[in-house]
A and B are shown apart, each in its own frame.
Chain A
Amino acid sequence: VSDELTPSLKAELLAEFEKDWRKDLRRAIPAKERMKTGRRPMPERPPDVRNKDFDEVNLGLDPEEAVEEARRCLDCAKPGCVAGCPVRIDIPSFIKLIEKGDFAASAAKIREANSLPAICGRVCPQETQCEETCNIRKASGVPVAIGNLERFVSDFERREGGIALPEMAPPSGRKAAVVGAGPAGLTVAGELAKHGHRVTVFEALHEAGGVLVYGIPEFRLPKSILQAEVAYLESLGVEFRLNFIVGKTATVDDLRHEGYEVVFIGTGAGLPNFMKIPGENLVGVYSANEYLTRVNLMRAYDFPRYDTPVFPGRRAAVIGGGNVAMDSVRTAKRLGAEKAVIIYRRSRTEMPARVEEVQHAEQEGIEFHFLTVPTRYIGDDHGRVRAMECLRMELGEPDASGRRRPVPVPGSEFLTEVDLVVVAIGQSPNPLLPQTTPGLSVGKWGTIDVDWETMATSLPGVFSGGDIVRGGATVILAMGDARVAAAAMDRRLKAGSAGRDETR
């Protein structure tokens, strides 16, 4: 994401900045005063209580706390935060609307740029985005809690009378297909519906949400929040066709023949990576995708009331250092593991997980083994995993990602007893759709090639975004792609058949 704001966005931000109510608020409390108050901590449930159930960990700010936190924002003339936000939310405006006490308007302000604010408020890595570039962080080290405030207003909006319906364009009579009901697909669907187009979302699984429903656990993102967003899209006229696997049930070509003039492919990175080490197919070794899908989508935590089982695991090891690894290890703890550990080949500072997730995991009794990598799994006579051999690593020279490359320490192998292993080392793009869509240009790693200005693929009228294009990124980046794609798709639909080739 570029830090440069477009001139038109700069002008919009400035126009809001110069509104009288904003000036009044700035004048009411001097900046020095604002800087004196510390950041309001996010209220959370006690670690030894929450690590035994699947209820949400964070409780959210109450209105007073939110207003207090909003006062910490200096309402800078040149807001760093907006440049750090991949979808360019007018952050100062929504925060100042909270300070003013107009929560509904604040929520609506976020929705201008972000279709899934209650979700992003919970799962965005704010510390490397808006909060990293917050000018107060630069001055004092402690940024405004932008993510917590985003969560607060969007929760307020949902609880108080629901999500306000946006202005809807008159029906265009044109049809758009969205493949995959994950963050990217849901965003495209909402945007195109607002523009008056008839949108159908095709989803392979039996619930909409993609990674938000099968991947991210209830304790971090309650399903009721996602369901509210899906219900909102339905109220805009979006149709969901669940259990429909584009590429199998019908191809992209079939959809075009059925009158869908534009198609968005947001099928995500649904192909789990394994390390290809001995014993990885032993019983008790899961991909994070399978483990989390069983627990989240299939509700295995409520087995046998729900029919899908999952191994509880007494000694659980999760391989990886990202958010998916944190979700998996905290899930294992909640399902009763006496010992739940993270095995990560680099050191703490290189971990890609959100800082809050790492802190929460530590509080909940998760052990971290850094600079460690599994080399093989050892099974019993029944083919079940019972031990894991690991190797110690040390940090060497920086690699292509700029992080110091872990190098094995010779002779440092050691054995640990495990009965549950979750491999959370990332995913690759799911090949099912590219394989069945002739003419769709795909890159070396199976990602779909796009023109980044419009998110158009090599097939006219077919657009794409999110992890199927990026290989494995974040919810917010998928949403950003989706907004770009939706704008281009809208232009194409409006141009109609005459301008088809020009608007690709």
Chain B
Amino acid sequence: MPRIVRRERLVPNIHLLEVEAPEIARKCQAGQFVIVMPDARGERIPLTIADWDRDRGTVVCIFMAVGTTTRKLALLRGGDDVPIFAGPLGLPSEIRPFGTVLCAGGCFGIAAIHPLVRALKEAGNRVLVLVDVKAGYLLYWADKLRALADEFIVSSRDGTYHSTEYVPRRVREVLERERVDRIHAIGCTYLMSSVAEATRPSGVRTMVSLNPIMVDGTGMCGACRVTVDGKTKFACVDGPDFDGHLVDWNELYARRKSYFDDEIRSLCAWEEENFP
């Protein structure tokens, strides 16, 4: 079983998981994800690969502790085994010399855009990084991203970083200021759809890394189907990156909430069992 090298809390509710997975570390590319299951009774969930060390053979994922699976993951420690850590899945993000690329990330997406920013820089792009946090104390990996980015902008709604505007507004500010050739947003569905709406009038191609519910992650079940440009796509094998202007966001919102009540029930049952 894959062994956890390190699991630490970066900021409240956001955790880092580094796992020994030499094959995945050797193969993975920006934009890909792994399927993780925290224990034998757990659920399989996708986590975006946020970093890797090909020499040490380790892979890093960042997740937010919200439901049963992520709460279980947040309790694991270095040295523990994780029963499933499979990948790298999904198609890698498209990396080319686009010119100026704006990468926007929020929540776990701050980490998820990291390999993308790195790959885009390596391909010779000018990369602007915009991260969203609800409050200043929730910012993490700022140094890592700042070191890569040509410009690093933080949007914090508590005003820590001089502004209280939400990401879409900041994206528009950048678009008004200079020519941007491509935008890529990763984070919660709300962040991605908001950015896509904000950039729609400009016509700048805006990619999003979708995060629907998945089971196997290899195209076998179709749980992750999304409508893009009127056609059904499986996010796990056809994506997870899609053109944000063509995604049926309402459908994605509904499908993400499929098991809302069950998720609460599951978490309550788990808490009662483990923290009576």
**Chain B binds chain A:** yes
B225 cross-chain contacts in A, Cβ below 8 A: 281
B221 lies within 8 A of chain A by Cβ = yes
Residues of B close to A382: CB separation below 8 A = 254, 257
Residue in B68, B88, B215, B227 whose Cβ sees the most chain A Cβ within 10 Å: B215
A114 within 8 A of B: no
Decide: A290 and B87 in contact? CB cutoff 8 A: no
B119 located at the interface, meaning its Cβ lies under 8 Å from any Cβ of chain A in the complex: no
Whether B86 contacts A204 by the Cβ 8 Å rule is yes
What is the size category of the interface that chain B forms with chain A? 35 or more
Indicate whether A503 reaches chain B with its CB closer than 8 angstroms: no
Q: A248-B87, A287-B222, A309-B266 are in contact. Are A294 and B215 (CB under 8 A)?
A: yes
> What is the CA–CA distance of A244 and B83 in the complex, to the nearest angstrom?
12
Do the beta carbons of A290 and B215 come within 8 Å of each other?
Answer: yes
Asked whether, in the complex, the Cβ of B86 is within 8 Å of the Cβ of A249, the reply is: yes
Instruction: Pick the residue among A206, A280, A384 that contacts B37 (CB under 8 A).
Output: A206
From 6 to 46 in chain B, residues with beta carbon under 8 angstroms from any chain A beta carbon are: 23-24, 27, 37, 41-44
Q: Contact between A272 and B23 (Cβ–Cβ < 8 Å)? A: no
Once the chains bind, are A249 and B216 in contact (CB under 8 Å)? no
Q: Which of A249, A280, A307 has the most CB of B within 10 A?
A: A307
* Cβ A270 vs Cβ B250 within 8 A: no
Asked whether, in the complex, the Cβ of A249 is within 8 Å of the Cβ of B24, the reply is: yes
Q: How far is the CA of A287 from the CA of B224 in the complex (A)?
A: 11
Q: Which residues of chain B come closer than 8 Å to A245, judged between CB atoms?
A: 86-87, 89, 218
Contact A280 B87 (CB under 8 A): no
A175 and B254 CA atoms in complex are apart in Å by 48
**B21 closest partner in A (C-beta):** A249
Q: Does B246 contact A (CB under 8 A)?
A: no
Task: A270 to B234: give the CA distance in the assembly, Å.
Answer: 13
Shortest Cβ distance from residue B31 to the other chain A in the assembled complex, whole angstroms: 13
Which residues from A are CB-within-8-Å of B87? 245, 248-249
- Name the A residues within 8 Å of B85 (CB-CB): 243
How many residue pairs, one in A and one in B, have C-beta atoms under 8 Å apart?
119
Whether A156 is near chain B, meaning CB under 8 Å from some CB there, is no
Chain A residue with the shortest CB-CB distance to B68: A307
Q: If the complex has contacts A248-B88, A287-B221, A304-B269, are A205 and B216 also in contact, measured as CB distance less than 8 A?
A: yes
Does B263 count as interface, using CB distance less than 8 angstroms? yes
Instruction: Give the CA-CA distance A304 to B85 in the complex, in Å.
Output: 22
A residues near B263, Cβ cutoff 8 Å: 309
Chain A residues whose CB sits within 8 angstroms of the CB of B89 once the complex forms: 245, 248
Q: Considering only CB atoms, which chain B residue lies closest to A382 in the complex?
A: B254
Closest residue of chain A to B223, judged by CB? A290
Whether the Cβ atoms of A309 and B262 lie closer than 8 Å is: yes
> Quick check: is B163 within 8 A (CB to CB) of the other chain?
no
Q: Is the CB of B215 within 8 A of A249?
A: no
Contact of A432 among B42, B237, B262 (CB under 8 A): B237
State whether the Cβ of B179 lies closer than 8 Å to any Cβ in chain A.
no
- Asked if residues A243 and B23 are in contact (CB atoms below 8 Å), the reply is no
A431–B219 CA distance with the chains assembled, in angstroms: 8
Given A249-B86, A283-B255, A384-B254, A304:B266 Cβ within 8 A:
yes
Chain A residues whose CB sits within 8 angstroms of the CB of B257 once the complex forms: 283, 382
How long is the Cα–Cα vector from A214 to B37 in the complex, in angstroms? 16
Q: Mark B76-91, 1 if CB is under 8 A from A, else 0.
A: 0000000111111100
Do B216 and A383 touch (CB < 8 A)?
no
CB distance from A300 to the nearest CB of B (A): 9
Q: Does B270 contact A (CB under 8 A)?
A: yes
B199 within 8 A of A: no
B98: interface (CB < 8 Å): no
1/0 contact string of A265-290 vs chain B (CB within 8 Å): 00000111010100011111011011
Please name all residues of chain B whose beta carbon is closer than 8 Å to the beta carbon of A299 when the two chains form the complex: 41
Check if A306 sits within 8 Å of B222, measured CB to CB: no
Residues of A within 8 A of B266 (CB): 303-304, 307, 309
Chain B residues positioned under 8 Å from A286 (CB to CB):
222-223
Interface centre among A249, A274, A289, A382 (most CB of B within 10 A): A249
B267 to chain A: closest residue by CB: A304
- Which chain A positions have C-beta within 8 A of B265? 304
CB distance A250 to B23 under 8 Å?
yes
Q: How far is the CA of A180 from the CA of B246 in the complex (A)?
A: 35
| B220 interface contact, C-beta 8 A | yes
Q: Within 8 Å CB of A244, what residues of B?
A: 23, 86
Is A430 in contact with chain B by the CB < 8 A criterion? yes
- Contact of A378 with B by CB under 8 A: no
**Bound: A307/B44 CA distance, A:** 9
Proximity bits, A293-308, B CB within 8 Å = 1, else 0: 1100011000111111
Partner among A243, A276, A289 whose Cβ is within 8 Å of the Cβ of B221 = A289
B259 proximal to A (CB < 8 A): yes
Contacts of A287 in B (CB 8 A): 221-222
Smallest CB-CB separation from B231: which chain A residue?
A276
A contact residues around B23 at 8 Å (CB): 244, 249-250
Is B258 in contact with chain A by the CB < 8 A criterion? yes
Task: List residues 142-193 of chain A with CB under 8 A from any CB of chain B.
Answer: none
Q: Out of A214, A248, A272, name the residue touching B27 (CB < 8 Å).
A: A248
Which residues from chain A contact B258 at a C-beta distance below 8 Å? 283-284
A306 to B40: give the CA distance in the assembly, Å.
9
Q: Is the CB of B259 within 8 A of A309?
A: yes
In the complex formed, the residue of B with least CB distance to A250 is B23
Closest Cβ of chain B: how far from A29's Cβ, in Å? 51
B53 CB within 8 Å of chain A: no
Please give me the 5 A-B residue pairs with the lowest Cβ-Cβ distance, nearest first: A383-B254, A309-B262, A290-B221, A270-B220, A243-B86
Q: Which residues of B contact A (CB under 8 A)?
A: 23-24, 27, 37, 41-44, 68-69, 83-89, 215-216, 218-223, 225-227, 232, 237, 250-251, 253-255, 257-259, 262-263, 265-266, 269-270
30 contacts between A and B (CB under 8 A): A204-B218, A205-B216, A206-B86, A243-B85, A245-B86, A248-B218, A249-B86, A249-B87, A249-B88, A270-B218, A270-B219, A271-B219, A272-B221, A276-B232, A281-B251, A282-B254, A283-B254, A286-B222, A287-B221, A289-B222, A298-B44, A303-B262, A304-B262, A304-B265, A307-B42, A307-B43, A307-B69, A307-B266, A308-B43, A383-B253
